Amino acid sequence: MIQVEGLTKQYGQRRAVSDLTFRIKEGEIVGFLGPNGAGKSTTMNMLTGYISATAGRATVAGADVLADPLEARRHIGYLPEQPPLYPEMTVGEYLSFVYDLKKVKTAGRRAHLDKIARMVGLDQSLTRLIKNLSKGYKQRVGLAQALVGDPSVLILDEPTVGLDPRQIVEIRQLIRSLGKARTVILSTHILQEVSAVCERLLVIAGGVIVADGTPAELMRRAAGESSFTLRVAAPVKTAATLLRGAAGVLDVQTLPGEPEPGAYDFLVRSEAGADARRSVFRALAGAGLPILKLAPSGDSLEEMFLRLTRAGAPAQTQTPDAPEAEPDPEPDAPPDTPPEADAPPEQTEEEETL
């Protein structure tokens, strides 16, 4: 569905992204994860045709984003970090405007827009002014405009930024439901976002891809070793000494507290490629010390993120031999979003926020 080969964007001597290559299959929900300034938004903007690439190639549904931009954009629904809304329009007027702007050929404008409104939970809000909606509902309007034309690819840039916890949960659930019939790229630096929504992660740091895989695969890779926790009914020093002497054990850490009378928890890290659970069991059983609990313990998503991005390239790649050049001028408007235009006449309506 999406193929990226050697995609690079350079502003003078500063390289924002460098030689990105990846593929995204139809129906995948992929998290594009990285710290602020890593190159996420730049990559999203190149995929949507909002800015041009310095080098490389990107195709969406077989259409080259640079050589055939109109065909590529027909397959893309884009929600930028700041939804492109006109506050003086009603929700229904705005979606109808986007329908015209995208030159949608779907028969039945009203039926198409009503279907989208139901999908994102706006069917009771079509006559409300956008300026009177809550932040969460404005985000729903942004998602709705991305869905106009029924695109096969959704590109969402920080879709839950600025929302309260309840709104975040609602938007995540909505994204998961939309992903059942579409390919979704979710650009974010919020780790809970990817763990709640995405089935695959692309991690970018310093403008380069540093990891690609499922969250579980990347956590195992980042850890580089297996670890587990166990609870032993024994004095702390006695149990720790026996654990450190077991074959394959790299390190033993005593966890705080006494979860049960006379019992203590330990974090045991095994050597790379080793599974020390059997040797630990034999060591403790030989001393007559019962194991009350044993469970695997992997690195958290936060630890994985820090390890992978710490190993990435510098945030700004310098190319001294490159000629000085100014950044590309900002286009008038992102693809498939309304260009600057006079807003419709202000309507008189009592303010009511959802």
Domain of 287, CATH number, reads 3.30.70.1320
- Which percentage of the chain shows pLDDT scores above 70? 83
- Give Rg (Cα) of the chain: 26
CB 38 within 8 A of CB 52: no
Kindly state whether residues 164 and 92 are assigned to the same domain.
yes
Kindly state whether residues 136 and 238 are assigned to the same domain.
no
Confidence (pLDDT) at 92: 96
CB 294 within 8 A of CB 229: yes
Kindly state whether residues 211 and 235 are assigned to the same domain.
no
- If one compares 87 and 174, the residue with the highest pLDDT of the two is 87
Closest CA to 230 of 312, 289, 283, 291: 291
Closest CA to 110 of 135, 93, 125, 124: 93
Kindly state whether residues 63 and 99 are assigned to the same domain.
yes
- List, for residues 288-344, the tens digit of each pLDDT value: 999 999 987 655 667 677 777 775 545 444 444 444 444 444 444 444 444 444 444
Per-residue pLDDT, averaged over 108-133, amounts to 94
Question: Is pLDDT of 186 > 50?
Answer: yes
Q: Would residue 291 count as lying in a domain?
A: yes
Going by pLDDT thresholds of 50, 70 and 90, the confidence category of residue 224 is low
Closest CA to 189 of 211, 160, 217, 165: 160
Out of 87-101, 182-196, 197-211, 260-274, the most confident range is 87-101
Kindly state whether residues 75 and 101 are assigned to the same domain.
yes
Q: Which helix (H) or strand (E) holds 192?
A: helix 191-197
Kindly state whether residues 149 and 266 are assigned to the same domain.
no
Q: Would residue 353 count as lying in a domain?
A: no
Q: Would residue 343 count as lying in a domain?
A: no
Q: Which residue type occupies 40? A: K
Confidence (pLDDT) at 64: 93
Closest CA to 2 of 119, 151, 144: 151
Token pair in block for residue 348: 């008189």
Kindly state whether residues 206 and 157 are assigned to the same domain.
yes
Confidence (pLDDT) at 298: 56
Kindly state whether residues 67 and 215 are assigned to the same domain.
yes
Question: Is pLDDT of 346 > 60?
Answer: no
Question: Is pLDDT of 264 > 90?
Answer: yes
Judged by DSSP in three states, 35 sits in coil
Confidence (pLDDT) at 254: 93
Q: Would residue 12 count as lying in a domain?
A: yes
Confidence (pLDDT) at 354: 39
Kindly state whether residues 73 and 135 are assigned to the same domain.
yes
Question: Is pLDDT of 162 > 80?
Answer: no
Q: Would residue 333 count as lying in a domain?
A: no
Q: Would residue 340 count as lying in a domain?
A: no
| Mutual angle of helices 135-147 and 165-178, in 10-degree steps | 10
Closest CA to 198 of 180, 215, 218: 215
- List, for residues 34-56, the tens digit of each pLDDT value: 888 888 889 988 998 889 999 99
Domain final residue pick, 266, 297, 328: 297
Number of domains in the chain: 2
Confidence (pLDDT) at 221: 66
Residue ranges making up the domain that contains 245: 227-297
CATH number of the domain to which 58 belongs: 3.40.50.300
- What span, in angstroms and rounded, lies between the C-alpha atoms of 230 and 96? 60
Going by pLDDT thresholds of 50, 70 and 90, the confidence category of residue 143 is very high
Kindly state whether residues 64 and 206 are assigned to the same domain.
yes
Which neighbouring-strand residues pair with 296? Answer: 228
Q: Would residue 282 count as lying in a domain?
A: yes
Confidence (pLDDT) at 328: 46
Sheet holding 317-318, edge to edge: 63-64, 55-60, 2-11, 14-24, 317-318
Kindly state whether residues 153 and 37 are assigned to the same domain.
yes
Name the pairing type of β-strands 227-232 and 291-296.
antiparallel
Kindly state whether residues 155 and 71 are assigned to the same domain.
yes
Question: Is pLDDT of 105 > 50?
Answer: yes
Positive/negative CA dihedral, 257, 259, 262, 267: negative
Q: Would residue 350 count as lying in a domain?
A: no
